[in-house]
A and B are shown apart, each in its own frame.
Chain A
Amino acid sequence: MILEIREKIIEKIFLLIALSSISILALIAIFIFGEGLPLIWKIGLKAFILGERWVPSKGSFGILPMIVGSFWVTSGALLLGIPLGLACAIFLCEWTPPLAGVFLRPAIQLLAAIPSVIYGFWGLIVLVPLIRNYLGGPGLSILSGSLILGFMILPTIISISEDSLKALPPSYKAGALALGATHWQTIWRVLIPAARSGIVASVILGMGRAIGETMAMIMILGNAVKMPTSFLDSARTLTTNIGIEMGYASGDHREALFATGIVLFFIIMILNSLAIFLSRRRGS
Chain B
Amino acid sequence: MLYRTRYLTQIIARVLIWMAALSTIAVMILILFQILKEGLPILHLRFFLDSPRSMGREGGIFSSIVGTIALTLVAILFATPLGVGTAVFLKEYTRESRVSRTIRFGTDCLAGIPSIIFGLFGFVFFVIYLNMGWSILSGGLTLAAMILPTVISTTEEAIKGVPYSYREVSYSLGGTKWQTVTRAVLPNALPGIFTGIILSVGRSIGETAAVILTAGSSLVMPTSLFSPIRTMAVHFYILAREGISMEMAYGTGAALILLVLAINLIANWLLNRYIRRRA
Q: Give Cα A120 to B6, complex, Å.
A: 42
Residues of A within 8 A of B264 (CB): 109-110, 113
Q: Give Cα A210 to B27, complex, Å.
A: 18
Chain B interface helix/strand/loop/mixed: helix
Task: Assess whether B240 is in contact with A113, with CB atoms less than 8 Å apart.
Answer: no
How far apart are A71's CB and chain B's nearest CB, in angstroms? Answer: 16
Q: Give Cα A83 to B19, complex, Å.
A: 11
Task: Assess whether B28 is in contact with A242, with CB atoms less than 8 Å apart.
Answer: no
Chain A interface helix/strand/loop/mixed: helix
Known: A21-B103, A113-B206. Contact between A246 and B25, CB under 8 A? no
How far apart are B75's CB and chain A's nearest CB, in angstroms? Answer: 13
- Interface 1/0s, chain A 180-194, versus B by CB < 8 A? 001111011000000
Instruction: Tell me if B207 is interfacial: C-beta within 8 Å of chain A.
Output: yes
**B10-44 with Cβ < 8 A to chain A:** 10, 13-14, 16-18, 20-21, 23-25, 27-32, 34-35
- Give the contact stretch, choosing among A43-51, A54-62, A131-139, A214-222: A214-222
Number of interchain pairs (Cβ within 8 Å): 243
Q: Give Cα A282 to B177, complex, Å.
A: 32
Task: Assess whether B233 is in contact with A115, with CB atoms less than 8 Å apart.
Answer: yes
Report which of A10, A110, A121 forms a contact with B261, defined as CB distance below 8 A: A110
| Number of interface residues, chain B, beta carbon within 8 A | 82
Task: Assess whether A115 is in contact with B17, with CB atoms less than 8 Å apart.
Answer: no
Q: Give Cα A25 to B146, complex, Å.
A: 10
Task: Assess whether B93 is in contact with A104, with CB atoms less than 8 Å apart.
Answer: no
Instruction: Tell me if A3 is interfacial: C-beta within 8 Å of chain B.
Output: yes
| Number of interface residues, chain A, beta carbon within 8 A | 86
Instruction: Tell me if A162 is interfacial: C-beta within 8 Å of chain B.
Output: no
Residues of B within 8 A of A208 (CB): 112, 114
Task: Assess whether A264 is in contact with B20, with CB atoms less than 8 Å apart.
Answer: no
Task: Assess whether B102 is in contact with A22, with CB atoms less than 8 Å apart.
Answer: yes
Instruction: Tell me if A37 is interfacial: C-beta within 8 Å of chain B.
Output: no
How far apart are A57's CB and chain B's nearest CB, in angstroms? Answer: 21
- Interface 1/0s, chain A 201-228, versus B by CB < 8 A? 0000100110111110011000000000
Residues of A within 8 A of B17 (CB): 87, 90-91, 95
Task: Assess whether B13 is in contact with A184, with CB atoms less than 8 Å apart.
Answer: yes
Report which of B34, B241, B260 forms a contact with A125, defined as CB distance below 8 A: B34
Task: Assess whether B113 is in contact with A212, with CB atoms less than 8 Å apart.
Answer: yes
Known: A35-B124, A114-B260. Contact between A212 and B114, CB under 8 A? yes
Instruction: Tell me if A199 is interfacial: C-beta within 8 Å of chain B.
Output: no
Task: Assess whether A184 is in contact with B9, with CB atoms less than 8 Å apart.
Answer: yes
Known: A122-B31, A126-B30. Contact between A116 and B86, CB under 8 A? no
Q: Give Cα A271 to B148, complex, Å.
A: 20
- Give the contact stretch, choosing among B115-123, B161-169, B221-229: B115-123
- Interface 1/0s, chain B 168-207, versus A by CB < 8 A? 0000000011100000000000000000000000100111
Report which of B21, B113, B212 forms a contact with A87, defined as CB distance below 8 A: B21
Residues of B within 8 A of A79 (CB): none
Q: Give Cα A110 to B31, complex, Å.
A: 11
A sample of 23 cross-chain residue pairs with beta-carbon separation below 8 angstroms, ordered by A number, consists of: A10-B177, A22-B102, A32-B120, A34-B124, A88-B24, A104-B21, A107-B29, A108-B24, A111-B28, A113-B261, A114-B257, A117-B240, A118-B256, A125-B34, A209-B114, A212-B114, A219-B241, A246-B123, A247-B212, A261-B116, A261-B120, A272-B113, A276-B105
Instruction: List the interface of chain A (C-beta within 8 A of B).
Output: 3, 6-7, 10-11, 13-15, 17-22, 24-25, 27-28, 31-32, 34-35, 83-84, 87-88, 90-91, 95, 100, 103-104, 106-111, 113-122, 124-126, 151, 154, 182-185, 187-188, 205, 208-209, 211-215, 218-219, 239, 242-243, 246-247, 257-258, 261, 264-265, 268-269, 271-273, 275-276
